[in-house]
Copies of this chain bind each other. A is one copy, B any other.
Amino acid sequence: MSLQLSVDRSSPVPLYFQLSQQLEAAIEHGTLTPGSLLGNEIELAGRLGLSRPTVRQAIQSLVDKGLLVRRRGVGTQVVHSQVKRPLELSSLYDDLESAGQRPATQVLVNTVVPASAEVAAALGVAEGGDVHRVERLRLAHGEPMAYLCNYLPPDLLELDSAQMEATGLYRLMRAAGITLHSARQSVGARAATAEEGERLGEPAGAPLLTMQRTTFDDTGRAVEFGTHIYRASRYSFEFQLLVRP
């Protein structure tokens, strides 16, 4: 095991983070092969000139990510799995872009409306209070993929239609300093109405994939509530669920 590890104490990056990144890179790169032992924590700490708690913190973050497994009396092993990287909270725009499809967006509606009871409950604002309402059509290769209707609380974000045609909503939020934390989603299916079909280029009665989502930032605030409709013939969700012990 000739793994090259080193930390830079003059860097402002925390030591445990430097270490966890190097370990993760080694796993990703194949230098640390699945099933291989990592060497015990004490020795590893001594070799790097770190304390055991620091090494443990680095390892723990990778255990949480599912890249490592610790077993008492045995050691810490690299997981042998096909699991690559746990997906982020998926943005349809980014998904399409990285899949080589050329995503485009038409902003159909971008206005401020009074919150309905459902929207108010989801966003945690007063019923009848102002909320942004955005309706978008998402296209790939010029073909309609999905119809997206979103509500956002006021005073959160400048919603510029031009920006929304150039990128996805999540990226705009992150750029505005909002750190997304989690999303509650409900996914179902139903047959398209005539109106929906026309909008998406499907016949009436065609199967549609529906999603309702409320997204929360790291302070627990709801930052977005949306109802999305996807052409089932063109799209399916891929995501990874983690078990919280």
Residue of B nearest to A69 (CB): B219
Tell me if B243 and A188 are in contact (CB < 8 A). no
Please give the distance in Å from A99's CB to the nearest CB on chain B: 14
Does A168 have its Cβ within 8 Å of any Cβ on chain B? no
Q: Mark A162-185, 1 if CB is under 8 A from B, else 0.
A: 000000000000000001111111
Stretch at the interface among A81-89, A103-111, A133-141, A147-155: A81-89
The answer to whether B240 touches A184 (Cβ under 8 A) is yes
Query: How many residues of chain A are within 8 Å of chain B by beta carbon?
Result: 57
Task: Tell me if A88 and B240 are in contact (CB < 8 A).
Answer: no
Min distance, Cβ A103 to any Cβ of chain B, angstroms: 19
Q: A55 in the interface, Cβ–Cβ < 8 Å?
A: no
A70 to B, closest residue via Cβ: B218
Which of chain B's residues have a CB closer than 8 A to the CB of A207?
189-191, 207-208, 232
- Give the complex CA separation of A37 and B77 in angstroms: 39
Q: Is A79 an interface residue (CB 8 A)?
A: yes
Write 20 A-B pairs (CB below 8 A) sorted by A numbering.
A34-B220, A65-B244, A66-B181, A66-B182, A69-B219, A77-B219, A79-B219, A81-B216, A82-B121, A82-B214, A83-B182, A83-B184, A182-B243, A184-B238, A185-B241, A187-B239, A189-B208, A205-B205, A207-B207, A241-B241
